[in-house]
Chain A
Amino acid sequence: MRNLFIFLWDNRFFTLFLILETISVGLLSTSYSYQRSLSYSLTNDISGSLLKTYSDLSDYFYLKEENKQLLEDNANLRNQVAGSFLATDTSTVYLDTLYRFLPARIISITNKMQMNRIIIDKGKIHGIKKEMGVIGKDGIVGIVIGVSDHYSTLMSALSRNANFSAMIKQNGQLVNVSWPGDNYLYGEINDIPSHIQLLEGDTIVSSGNSIIFPKGIIIGYVVEHQKREDKDLSKAKIRFSVDFNKLHHVYIVKNLMKHELDSLIMQTYNE
């Protein structure tokens, strides 16, 4: 034992190197899988408030663009309020308030890594919890994986292990959308049954099967569909509807029934 310590001390440069690398790789591996990243995130109020100060300043540069987008957003919402429909129009169904949307601002975002993270300026005190969905004006953005008092971290849709339950809008066929990890503009669908032929421009929307996102939120549009004769499932490339490079404001999706649904699922598991 004593000899071991002497050996370690004699090679202390190498020993310290090994120790520090082990710590780093340990940290890295805890954040690698989605499940584990839920229990581990570096989100904290110190780095958060610094990033926020910066984005407060830099946001001035995007004011014009932002205003334009807010106007568009407003116009869309106006189209949906009751007054916009004829009184005789019975085709509109008013959904019960299953989802609430909470606006938030992005204070830090990456899109060139394999696991991209977004930090937003809403946290525990605003009622944000892990596993809430986040959408932008144009579509799905990500899922909350870390929460501090005032800030939260999202796993962006641009994460190699992110998998979104989606469907093809035209026929309701369920598929999974993932991100291959190279270009932030394009995603991938891996499990398209052989009898389905997708066309360029087909819309892929959220399925609503996961209780994270409401049904029908746009994820992207099909760019190309490679059909393979020898395989049952084929692949398609999609273009994300959200431009992650121009994202500044998002909405957090609160599912008001999540608690009930979760306990229901637990109940089934326990029996």
Chain B
Amino acid sequence: MNNIVVKNIVRFLLLVLVQVFILNKLNLFGYLSPFVYVLFILLLPFRTNKLLLLVLAFLIGLTIDVFGDTPGLHASATVLMAFIRPSVISVFFGRIEFTQKEAPDIKKLGFIGFGKYAFVLVMVHHFSLYFMEALSFSRFFDTLKTTFLSTLLSMVLIYIIVFLFSRKK
């Protein structure tokens, strides 16, 4: 149990560092950027207390906000993502039994299963992020395009990170 807590704390710190110091500096075609820190929320154990899930999501979002000086922007997106996570899991994987320790990773859900799960949540997060940022629907299709392309970019990086770390174990 303790092991899981430590593992998640380390994951939290590493993802924040990677996001703030490497990915936030990245700028593809002038407007695309990946947000892989959401992997922290994706990989929290299945049985994480729902309230804790929201609080942790709020924390990581706010941390990213502090570094980018975007008060509340990432926090609102991560909280929304954490809010729908339990529903997404029960819709996609309602019939799978999970133990206390298991996390919704590639090992448990498979390549495709994890992809479905991650894609939906990452998409929701990015959608919320870009629309909150624009604070309007006036450029709806531009924002939608950015959301979609950024989601793809984030997904690619998420898979790369997941593979890098699953090999070591």
Measured between alpha carbons, how far is A32 from B72 in the docked complex, in Å? 11
Measured between alpha carbons, how far is A13 from B83 in the docked complex, in Å? 8
Q: Which residue of B has the minimal Cβ distance to A57?
A: B21
> Given A12-B51, A28-B72, A245-B27, A17–B83 Cβ distance below 8 Å?
yes
Q: Is the interface of B mostly helix, strand, loop or mixed?
A: helix
Does A203 belong to the interface (CB within 8 Å)? no
> Is there contact, CB below 8 Å, between B66 and A31?
no
- CB contact between B133 and one of A12, A25, A51, A115 (< 8 Å): that residue: A115
> Is there contact, CB below 8 Å, between A40 and B70?
no
The residues in A between 6 and 28 inclusive whose CB is less than 8 angstroms from any CB of B are: 12-13, 16-17, 20-21, 23-28
> Is there contact, CB below 8 Å, between A181 and B139?
yes
> Given A13-B51, A17-B54, A47-B66, A183–B71 Cβ distance below 8 Å?
no
In the assembled complex, the CB of A251 is this many whole angstroms from the nearest CB of chain B, namely: 21
Q: Which residue of A has the minimal Cβ distance to B86?
A: A13
Residue interface mask A109-144, B partner, CB < 8 A = 1: 011111101010000000000000000000000000
Does A163 belong to the interface (CB within 8 Å)? no
> Given A12-B51, A43-B69, A181-B139, A27–B75 Cβ distance below 8 Å?
yes
Does B102 belong to the interface (CB within 8 Å)? no
A-B residue pair count with CB separations less than 8 angstroms: 107
Measured between alpha carbons, how far is A11 from B24 in the docked complex, in Å? 36
> Is there contact, CB below 8 Å, between A25 and B72?
yes
> Is there contact, CB below 8 Å, between A111 and B54?
no
Q: Which interface class (under 10, 10 to 19, 20 to 34, 35 or more) fits A?
A: 35 or more
Does B135 belong to the interface (CB within 8 Å)? yes
> Is there contact, CB below 8 Å, between A30 and B51?
no
Measured between alpha carbons, how far is A106 from B142 in the docked complex, in Å? 29
> Given A32-B135, A42-B66, A26–B72 Cβ distance below 8 Å?
yes
Does A200 belong to the interface (CB within 8 Å)? no
Measured between alpha carbons, how far is A50 from B20 in the docked complex, in Å? 10
> Is there contact, CB below 8 Å, between B69 and A42?
yes
Chain B residues positioned under 8 Å from A178 (CB to CB)? none
In the assembled complex, the CB of A205 is this many whole angstroms from the nearest CB of chain B, namely: 24
Does A54 belong to the interface (CB within 8 Å)? yes
Chain A residues positioned under 8 Å from B75 (CB to CB)? 20, 23-24, 27
Measured between alpha carbons, how far is A108 from B55 in the docked complex, in Å? 27
- Residues of chain A at the chain B interface (Cβ within 8 Å): 12-13, 16-17, 20-21, 23-32, 40-44, 47, 50-51, 54, 58, 108, 110-115, 117, 119, 146, 153, 181-185, 245
Lowest 3 A-B CB distances belong to which pairs? A27-B72, A24-B76, A28-B72
- Residues of chain B at the chain A interface (Cβ within 8 Å): 20-21, 24-25, 27, 30-33, 50-51, 54-55, 58, 61, 65-73, 75-76, 79-80, 83, 86, 132-135, 139, 142
A-B contact pairs, 14 of them (CB 8 A): A13-B83, A17-B54, A17-B79, A20-B79, A24-B58, A25-B132, A28-B72, A32-B135, A42-B66, A110-B24, A110-B68, A113-B70, A113-B133, A182-B31
Given contact pairs A13-B54, A28-B132, enumerate 14 new A-B contacts (beta carbons under 8 Å).
A17-B54, A20-B55, A20-B58, A20-B79, A29-B72, A41-B71, A47-B66, A110-B68, A112-B27, A112-B33, A115-B133, A153-B69, A184-B27, A245-B30
